[in-house]
Amino acid sequence: MPLPELDNLVRTGVLKAEPPDQREFDSLVQSGQHRLTDAGNKALSFESRFDLAYNAAHALSLAAMRWHGYRPDKQRFVVFQALVHTLSLAPEMARILDKSHSRRNLAEYEGYFDPDLRLLDELLAATNIVRKEVEKLGPVAKSQKPAR
């Protein structure tokens, strides 16, 4: 289901238009659901829970983008920014996920990780909302054409 706002990102090279694939969509949703469940396990370390929650959010956000027939070209975080279009979510959700992306990058690439329980709670809540909205999308339409 092409979206004009995302078509603009295809033209600028941020996204690629690619037909949605049911198997890929289902796999991303399942991965997101499992990671989100595991992120709720308070017996795990903060770092593990944050990593699981972040990766759940990314998998589910990517599933929403793929359902519409788009794929990020190089920038991983664009799946979060696109949620206002792919799932009609409020910009606040994208901001929480974008902040989580920045924190993940600090930990991943610079070795700096400052445990922030409030951010983890916000990330878990936002990811649950993304999960619920993705689950409403239903099957990938066979007649869907890739975005232009």
| Tens-digit pLDDT profile for residues 102-127 | 999 888 888 888 889 999 999 999 99
Residue 113 is encoded by which pair of tokens? 């990780």
Q: How much is the pLDDT for 115? A: 84
53-77 exposure pattern, b = at least 16 Cβ within 10 A, e = fewer:
bbbbbbbbbbbbbbbbbbbbeeeeb
The torsion angles phi and psi of 55, rounded to 5 degrees, stand at -70, -30
- pLDDT beyond 50 at 148: no
| pLDDT given for residue 52 in this prediction | 97
What pLDDT digit, counting tens, does each position of 33-80 carry? 999 999 999 999 999 999 999 999 999 999 999 999 999 998 888 999
- pLDDT band of residue 147 (cuts 50, 70, 90) is very low
pLDDT at residue 141, as a whole number:
76
Strand (E) positions, the chain? Answer: 15-17, 70-72
pLDDT of 145 higher than 60: no
Indicate the CATH number of 4-136 among 3.40.50.970, 1.10.1060.10, 3.30.1360.70, 1.20.120.330.
Answer: 1.20.120.330
Q: Where do the structural domains in the chain lie, given as residue ranges?
A: 4-136
Q: What is the mean pLDDT of the chain?
A: 92
